[in-house]
Amino acid sequence: MFNRLELLINDKIDLIKNKNILIIGLGGVGGYALESIVRSGIENITIVDYDKIDITNLNRQILSLNNNIGLKKVDVAYERIKNINPNCKVTIIDKKITSSNIDLLFKNHIDYVIDACDTTQTKCELIKECLKRKIKLISSMGTGNKLDPAKLEIIDIRKTCYDPLAKIIRKMVKDENIKDKIMVVSSKEVPIKTNSKTIGSTSFVPATAGLLCASFVINDIIGDQSVR
């Protein structure tokens, strides 16, 4: 089923299949990251989310449909993964991850973490844990109140701009005196100001962020230096 991909990567498909990927957050960003990871041949996946699909997810989340509103995102994701590639081995973590239970993520061997969660403190803890455990991580920053997917880029956290979430993470990295590169997907688009406390969203900006997260992982596995 991966013959079109193998035209590009030759005999490296087994490298991809044998990696263990953890995706935390299955919303607008994480759902598309998961979709691309599965369709790229990854066969060992851990999915993490505690939420249910809501009607407000329909504008941007690939897992959401009118006929699965109210179902757990991890359950919907599991069925989708298996319908794409029945060979996938899927581990489900149906919990909200905090500093007190973050060890749950690392009970099994993990090669890469895709952070698509929406809790700032969890993002900070993930960065520190992955550095400590020498696990490669790509973290999605904010995609709300933005309209231009072309302004998203894979970049070190220290080089981000116009991203309120990235600003918080940059401060943590500085305060913790972290010297390692922290690779993120971030937009240099200035957020659009609205009159609502609810963050606006599109179908295409979060999706693009998720696809960039997946591309970082796949290109890193096959050794494409351009994504590092």
Cβ(185)–Cβ(139) under 8 Å? yes
Q: For residue 148, how many other CB atoms are within 10 A of its CB?
A: 14
Under the banding of pLDDT at 50, 70 and 90, the label for residue 130 is very high
* CA separation for the pair 111, 218 (Å, rounded): 12
Report pLDDT digits (tens) over 66-97: 999 999 999 999 999 999 999 999 999 999 99
Q: What domains are defined for the chain?
A: 3-227 (3.40.50.720)
pTM for the structure as a whole: 0.96
For the residues of 156-174, what is the DSSP string, one character each?
EGGG--S-HHHHHHHHHHH
Q: What is the pLDDT of residue 11?
A: 86
Under the banding of pLDDT at 50, 70 and 90, the label for residue 227 is very low
Check the CA dihedral 24-27-29-32 and report its sign.
Answer: positive
Check the CA dihedral 201-204-83-224 and report its sign.
Answer: negative
Q: What is the pLDDT of residue 224?
A: 62
